[in-house]
Amino acid sequence: MSEVHLPIASFSPLYEQIKAMILASLQAAEWLPGAAIPSEMELAARYAVSQGTVRKAIDELAAMNLLVRRQGKGTYVATHQEDDWQYRFLRLAPDSAEKFHLTSQFLACIKTKANIYIASLLKLKAGDSIIHIDRVQSFASKPIVFEEIWLPSARFKGLDLDALNAWHGPVYALYESHYATHMVRAEEKIKAVTADEALAAHLHLAIGAPLLSVERVAFTYGNKPVEIRHARYDTSNQHYENKLN
């Protein structure tokens, strides 16, 4: 591959320019989730910069959870298919501290039209085609999460209820594998609510039981919103856990 020549005039540090170039390659799917990227030496030659400059750029991308360093093996594109990453955006944890593994049951997957609120979050126009998904997640055979998910139909063509229920891994891994969509960050709004009749039935609770409502917007490369997820958590034996730096 030919060398990439950097512009002479620039107001950003050199490592920031290299970081932007690596990020552009990730956005262009030059290196897919789970795949190794070229070594620091190879990238230094490609971009005609020092290995230290490349290392600093990779360090920042690793800190952003876009790349993963593996001692003695190299640097890889982060993927939600790995066990350690399956629940990266899920902050729910059992009070018992036992290993958390959720099982999913998809209840509905229908095409509909985006209302003004959903369209604004997904950067669509009101009335654009979207996919609406309902899902219940269970822990130790007890339903603890009811989710509504909204996706832009244009990006997730062909997704239906059969495909969702046939998939046995994380939903974000399905997005990666079948729709070339890698979730890189998310924003959440959290509030306390009570279970209405429908939520009580889905989560096997009494009407009026306390729940935690979490609305998440997930973004792919380029800060593009591609999923809205509204979850209601039964926190009777679970808690919402976050680590602040």
Are 45 and 105 within one domain? Answer: no
**Amino acid residing at 99:** K
CATH code, domain with 216 = 3.40.1410.10
Report how far residue 44's alpha carbon sits from residue 10's, in angstroms, rounded to the nearest whole number.
19
Are 109 and 208 within one domain? Answer: yes
Are 53 and 153 within one domain? Answer: no
% the chain with pLDDT above 90? 46
The answer as to whether 1 is a domain residue is no
Are 161 and 179 within one domain? Answer: yes
Q: Checking DSSP bridges between strand 210-220 and strand 185-194, what pairing results, if any?
A: antiparallel
The answer as to whether 5 is a domain residue is no
Positions of the chain with pLDDT under 70: 1-11, 82-89, 244-245
Q: Of 77, 106, 124, which one is at a domain's C-terminal end?
A: 77
For position 9, what pLDDT does the model report? 47
Q: Checking DSSP bridges between strand 103-113 and strand 210-220, what pairing results, if any?
A: unpaired
204: domain range? Answer: 83-240
For position 1, what pLDDT does the model report? 44
Q: How far is CA 34 from CA 26, 63, 69, 188, 234, in A?
A: 12, 17, 11, 26, 33
The answer as to whether 4 is a domain residue is no
Q: Of 77, 103, 129, which one is at a domain's C-terminal end?
A: 77
For position 194, what pLDDT does the model report? 97
Are 63 and 146 within one domain? Answer: no
Are 134 and 112 within one domain? Answer: yes
HSE (side-chain half, CA atoms, 13 Å) at 59: 7
For position 66, what pLDDT does the model report? 81
Are 132 and 162 within one domain? Answer: yes
Instruction: Report CA dihedral (30, 33, 39, 42) to the nearest 10 degrees.
Output: 0
Residue-wise pLDDT for 110-149, tens only, equals 999 999 999 999 999 999 999 999 999 999 899 999 999 9
The answer as to whether 233 is a domain residue is yes
Total domains present in the chain: 2
Are 70 and 94 within one domain? Answer: no
Task: Give the mean pLDDT of the chain.
Answer: 87
Q: Of 62, 77, 92, which one is at a domain's C-terminal end?
A: 77
